[in-house]
Structure 1
Amino acid sequence: MTDFSTLPESPFVDSLGVQLISAEDGASEVLLPLSATHMNTWGIAHGGVTMTLADVALAMAARSLADNGIGVVTVEMKVNFMQPGRGELRAFARVLHRSTTMAYCEGEIRDSEGHFVAKALGTFKYMRKLAVGRDIAQQRLRSDPSATPGPSDA
């Protein structure tokens, strides 16, 4: 089991300002003080921000049960929005079931006044870090200067 004191490096999550409160023994808590950049056109937390916070909380709960060097990827996730998010959002998550390769988690998000903002359920796959996506294209470009990014010919 892993005890986290900080979130794993993620430029997207870092840019949002998500803060890890705790992640251990299959449970986690994360916090996001909302700013103008997190809002939708109605002046409330954008649904994508709320979903991202839920995803981070659920993933951290799952990761807290993994050995060092093992991460998780989201296989599927569902979020029900109950009411607008305002002020500060706090997400709480826990693992409901874990197998050797997957974790099924639930969580909820509340605002700074304790109002119930959203409920989330998700499935996460345990994996070692892989070179995927952009990293592979960049490695190919470095190793073959004539290569161009795009679909493979294979």
Structure 2
Amino acid sequence: MIMTVAGHADFEERIRNSFARQGAMETLGAELTRISQGVVEIELPFDLKLTQQHGILHAGVISAALDSACSYAAYTQIEPEVSLLTIEFKVNLMSPGRGERFLFRGEVTKPGSNIIVADGRGYALSDGPAKLIASMTSTLMVVRGREGISE
């Protein structure tokens, strides 16, 4: 079943189409693995090209994936004709990014008509339980009628 927000068009299809246009996520090898009301998950495999000098996932990669997960979680809350821009985020790196795969989950904390706040968590996945490696708080601005910025 596809969920809708207050009668809005299919947000899952809009998110998938938007994600497919993101060259950054494609470069990282990221994929959307969950889209539901207020929650989006993005996963990516370990790739040595995405690491820093110690062989762990680079903080910039973690931040980019969390930013996208939070943004797309917020996309589930907006009308089809508007868009979003991240205006601020804070990342806490809690543990080295070592794993076979990584999961980045964004969840809407506070929906709004102009500003949306979302929180993200990044996990390293290997044998055993998932390990929390990072958290993010993201503030997003709802964009209406701005030339060059649409869904």
| TM-score scaled by length of structure 1 | 0.79
1:44 match: secondary structure:
coil
Distance of 1:109 and 1:130 partners within structure 2: 33
Match of 1:138 in 2: none
* Secondary structure of 1:121's aligned partner: strand
In structure 1, give the amino acid aligned to 2:142. Y
Match among 125, 131, 154 for residue 148 of structure 2: 131
Residues 28 and 94 of structure 1 are in contact (CA less than 8 Å); yes or no, is this contact kept in structure 2? yes
Moved over 4 A (4+): none
Q: Which structure is larger by alpha-carbon Rg, 1 or 2?
A: 1
Residues 22-75 of structure 1 deviation map (CA, whole Å, 9 limit, x = unaligned): 222111111011211101000000000000011011001001111223221101
- Residue correspondence of structure 1 range 66-85 to structure 2 within 5 A: 66-85=78-97
Q: Any stretches of 5+ residues in structure 1 without a counterpart? A: 133-154
1:42 aligned partner: 54
Give yes or no for contact 1:75–1:123 (8 Å, CA) kept in 2: yes
Report how many residues are paired. 132
Which amino acid is the alignment partner of residue 102 of structure 1? I
**Greater relative contact order (Cα < 8 A, sep 6+):** 2
Provide the secondary structure at the position in 2 that maps to 1:69: coil
Cα deviation 1:75-94 (Å, max 9, x = unaligned):
10000001111221101111
CA distance in 1, matches of 2:85, 2:20: 13
For the structure 1 residues 130 and 12, does the alpha-carbon distance in structure 2 shift closer, same or farther, using more than 3 Å as the test? farther
**Partner secondary structure for residue 111 of structure 1:** strand
Q: Which residue of 2 aligns with 1:140?
A: none
| 1:108 aligned residue | 121
For the residues of structure 1 that align with 2:37 and 2:60, how far apart are their CA atoms?
A: 27
TM-score, length-scaled by structure 2: 0.80
Alpha-carbon contact 1:24-1:65 (below 8 Å) kept: no
